Amino acid sequence: MSFARVRALVVVGVLAVAAIVFVITALVRDSQGDEVTADNCPAGAPMADVTLPDDPAEVTIKVYNGTSTAGLADSVTNEFKNRRFTVQKPAESKTKYKGVAEIRYGPDAVGRAQLLRAYFLDRSKLEYNAKRKGTLIDIVIGSQFRQLATTTEVNQSLVEVGEPTLPPGACAKPVKKDAT
């Protein structure tokens, strides 16, 4: 074996050992101190489900018309139904809304609300209520609403928005592992 080949093997060996030491050190010193989980959650704090749903059928919504345009809630409900969401009968909002949309949800629907936010291209207002029970999400359609985003736009918006974040005062609900 030539001297150049031996020198190359020594350099590669040293780099491999350094990489292993670095990885072990990173794993040992890793601390998720700022992560709030069910184990260290304050008493009485709501448990928030921050997982994004795999299928739109897992999301149940009720659309309210917050404008003076007749039938707007019906048409938006049909659009969501065509995109495989579970929908309830639309209704009229008691108050008018000037924005694009207002998404109202509770701790059990944090991840689901993030998905719906993407359908309005992140121009919707999120209204979190810690005392709200269940996974039903209310959407109030406002006067600035034009149309729902396309599938491609939704995917791009989800990438831009990122993972759902815990609402203030809430703790992350433990994630159920698949049995696969």
Distance separating alpha carbons of residues 29 and 175, to the nearest angstrom: 24
Question: Residue 36's pLDDT band (boundaries 50, 70, 90)?
Answer: very low
pTM above 0.75, yes or no: no
Amino acid code (one letter) for 27 = L
pLDDT value at residue 91: 92
Q: pLDDT at residue 120 above 80?
A: yes
pLDDT value at residue 32: 58
Write the CB contacts of 41 (distance below 8 Å, at least 6 apart in sequence). Answer: 47, 171
Domain ranges of the chain: 1-30, 47-172
Q: How high does pLDDT run on average in the chain?
A: 87
Write the CB contacts of 165 (distance below 8 Å, at least 6 apart in sequence). Answer: 50
